[in-house]
Amino acid sequence: MTRHDRNMSDSRPVIRQLDEAAINRIAAGEVVERPAAAVKELVENALDAGAGRIDITIAEGGKALIRVVDDGCGIAADDLPLALARHATSKIDGSDLLNIRSFGFRGEALPSLGAVGRLTITSRVRGEDAAQITVDGGRMGPVRPAGLTAGTVVELRDLFHATPARLKFLRTDRAEAQAVAEVVRRLAMAEPFVSFTLRDASGGEDRLVFRADAETGDLFDALHGRLAGVMGRDFAENALRIEATREGFHLTGYAALPTYSRGAAVAQHLFVNGRPVRDKLLVGALRGAYSDVLSRDRHPAAALFVDCDPQLVDVNVHPAKTEVRFRDSGIVRGLIVSALRHALAEAGHRASSTVGTATLGAFRAEPTAGARIYQMDRPSAPLRAMANTSQAPGFAETATPSARFEPDPTPETPEAGPLGAARAQVHENYIIAQTPGGIVIVDQHAAHERLVYERLKRQMAETGIAAQALLIPEIVELSAGEAAQLLEAAEDLARLGLLIEPFGGNAVAVRETPALLGVVDAQGLIRDILDELADLGDSATVQTRMDAILSRVACHGSIRSGRRMQADEMNALLREMEATPLSGQCNHGRPTYVELKLADIERLFGRT
């Protein structure tokens, strides 16, 4: 093995006190790893200052220029040098590191930026004159008078010019600019009552990249409007309002319908006390809430905000403050899972509007080089006579139809229902229903699969989960920590039909397993549960496996493709879909029906 030089001589090493410039450059490596991190710190400072408008300008992905202008309370001239000192902050007094109610609190961002770039701060406090201070590679200049009407302007040029090696680890200008835009969008979601603009001044241009004007109304209306601007109108149209409270934690936000899912976790935005975070506990809870309605290769879209007393969460566990630790993570996870599942159930049979849009997009008119004359445009006399006859009362078709059409409904046909009344079945798999405002196309197998699945789950919840006793208990050897962690969850696992007991030392005995699972690899199941406990703090492995089996049973027990259905059967299926939660998607997250509005259909035929 090669011995690496660790910058030490063979003689006895000498302990040295690093100078302030070196300390700040080291700190900058943690706080400011890329331009997006610098933008995040500066925008958060502006929000802490009470800004109502924040304008950000970057150039060359933020490497050449980052400028943040706000209309906040400003910094007094006498405080400017102190603002550039490490661990100097106006956010906390240091007496209680758990009572943090601001974005920033460490006092590291500004001195770190000044240590690795050319930093200029111009600020004005109401009733005082504006002042300016400059820091270049850690060397601070004097405070000088400046011209500014209000607020603060922070300008950072030539990021990492004092540590040029760091520049080699940055990505392309385009990639860095995209990372900056993502940071600004996430902060804009957290503050819907604040206006944001992001401009790119690369190459001497002044291109508007992102703009979000301050929203009005109550919190939910403002948040909905802001999410529509940031995440798109499609998300806003297909998102469910979330609001729930549990033991001091308050959850708000919006979560999309399962049929509005994504191929990657790019539309998941999580906030704790207004702070954007990337926390595996929250991501796991979000994933768990959708586990019953999405396949593993699809990801939910959501913007969720967890608010609580600062004493219940520690935000001082990561240099970039993107991770948090909850005092009781189980409460938070349970709150998210239960609130989302309740909202999804309340949505009933509703499916994403984008499904219908995609369907309309699949229709394409036949391209034409010019106006064609079809035979129907110049019919012969016999054809004209046949046309007149076909429109006369009592005319009956003699040709074999390509699909089965039901007769006109009787007055009792429930056409007023959300999914309308069945009119036809095509290809022995798709039900065509007429609604007052359009048509609905239902995949009969997928729809019935969800209905049967929900019925089986209700039965299991009502009658309990049957357990099967093992003739010979299976002994699983664990580490001391694993055994303690597993036995702590034993009571919850027993309710799911998995009975485990201590067996001396660090071993556990598996005495009963859920009957629904059939023959079980107990050791493998225990290992999976332990992995989930270590990752998320609790385990849904057993429940997930049983749900998967119920899903397979429902698939085999549902109406098969190719079966002809009578009108009463089709209408009964539609009515049950309307009464069953989550019936808008099958067990794998695919839509069970597509709705097309009459106006959209008319546009396809040029009737508008």
* CATH label of the domain that carries residue 99: 3.30.565.10
30-39 tens-digit pLDDT: 567 889 989 9
315 has pLDDT over 60: yes
Same domain, 450 and 594: yes
* Structure-token pair, residue 131: 């002042």
What string of DSSP letters covers 299-366?
B--EEEEEEE-GGGEE-TTSTTS---EETTHHHHHHHHHHHHHHHHHHTTT---HHHHHHHHHH--PP
Mean pLDDT of 62-83: 92
Find out whether 360 and 441 touch, Cβ atoms under 8 Å: no
Domain-located, residue 373: no
Spatial separation of the C-alpha atoms in residues 366 and 364, rounded to whole Å: 6
Spatial separation of the C-alpha atoms in residues 350 and 440, rounded to whole Å: 12
| pLDDT given at position 23 | 62
> Alpha-carbon torsion 428, 434, 440, 445, what sign?
negative
Spatial separation of the C-alpha atoms in residues 329 and 402, rounded to whole Å: 58
Same domain, 200 and 291: no
Q: Which helix (H) or strand (E) holds 13?
A: none
CATH at 415: 3.30.1370.100
Domain-located, residue 371: no
Same domain, 318 and 285: yes
Same domain, 203 and 228: no
Name residue, tokens 């749900």. Answer: 547
Domain end, chosen from 212, 239, 263, is at 212
CA-based nearest residue to 188, from 151, 232, 235, 223? 223
Domain-located, residue 492: yes
Name residue, tokens 């240590």. Answer: 115
| pLDDT given at position 608 | 66
Q: Cα angle vertex 379, ends 378, 380, to 5°?
A: 125
Find out whether 317 and 272 touch, Cβ atoms under 8 Å: no
Better pLDDT: 94 or 360: 360
Find out whether 494 and 484 touch, Cβ atoms under 8 Å: no
| pLDDT given at position 5 | 55
Q: Count Cβ neighbours within 10 Å for each residue of 470-481 and write b for 16 or more, e otherwise.
A: eeebbebebeee
Spatial separation of the C-alpha atoms in residues 512 and 517, rounded to whole Å: 11
Spatial separation of the C-alpha atoms in residues 455 and 352, rounded to whole Å: 23
| pLDDT given at position 104 | 52
| pLDDT given at position 222 | 95
Same domain, 136 and 270: no
Find out whether 281 and 536 touch, Cβ atoms under 8 Å: yes
Same domain, 287 and 419: no
The 3-state DSSP class for residue 433 equals strand
CA–centroid distance for 283 within its chain: 8
Same domain, 418 and 522: yes
Spatial separation of the C-alpha atoms in residues 350 and 64, rounded to whole Å: 49
Same domain, 333 and 479: no
Same domain, 177 and 262: no
Domains held by the chain: number: 3
Domain end, chosen from 189, 212, 235, is at 212
Rounded to 5 degrees, what are φ and ψ at 422?
A: -65, 135
Domain-located, residue 440: yes
525: confidence class by pLDDT, cuts 50, 70, 90: confident
Q: Where are the alpha helices (DSSP H) in 496-579?
A: 522-536, 541-557, 567-579
Better pLDDT: 595 or 11: 595
12-52 tens-digit pLDDT: 777 777 666 666 665 555 567 889 989 998 999 899 889 99
Q: Count Cβ neighbours within 10 Å for each residue of 509-547 and write b for 16 or more, e otherwise.
A: bbbbbbebbeebebeebbebbbebbeebbbbbbbbebbb
- Average pLDDT of the chain to the nearest whole number: 80
Domain-located, residue 391: no
Find out whether 550 and 516 touch, Cβ atoms under 8 Å: yes
Mean pLDDT of 486-494: 83
| pLDDT given at position 161 | 82
408 has pLDDT over 70: no
227-269 tens-digit pLDDT: 999 999 989 998 999 999 999 999 999 999 888 888 888 899 9
| pLDDT given at position 606 | 77
Phi-psi region of 569 (alpha: psi -120 to 50; beta: other; left: phi over 0): alpha
Query: Within 13 Å and on the Cβ side, how many CA atoms surround 279?
Result: 29
399: confidence class by pLDDT, cuts 50, 70, 90: very low
Domain-located, residue 5: no
Phi-psi region of 320 (alpha: psi -120 to 50; beta: other; left: phi over 0): alpha
Name residue, tokens 């979330």. Answer: 242
Q: How many residues are listed for the chain in this entry? A: 608
Spatial separation of the C-alpha atoms in residues 573 and 503, rounded to whole Å: 51
85-143 tens-digit pLDDT: 776 565 544 454 555 556 655 557 788 888 888 999 999 999 999 999 999 988 899 99
Give the structural domain span for 72. Answer: 20-212
Domain-located, residue 235: yes
CB neighbours (10 Å) of residue 39? 25
Q: Is the pTM of this model over 0.85?
A: no
The 3-state DSSP class for residue 107 equals coil
Domain end, chosen from 191, 212, 233, is at 212
Same domain, 463 and 567: yes
* Structure-token pair, residue 355: 């499904």
| pLDDT given at position 410 | 45
CATH at 227: 3.30.230.10
Same domain, 289 and 187: no
Same domain, 471 and 608: yes
Better pLDDT: 561 or 332: 332
162 has pLDDT over 70: yes
370: confidence class by pLDDT, cuts 50, 70, 90: very low
Domain-located, residue 10: no
Return all residues near 68 (Cβ < 8 A) that are at least 6 apart.
Answer: 39, 42, 43, 45, 46, 54, 55, 56, 153, 154
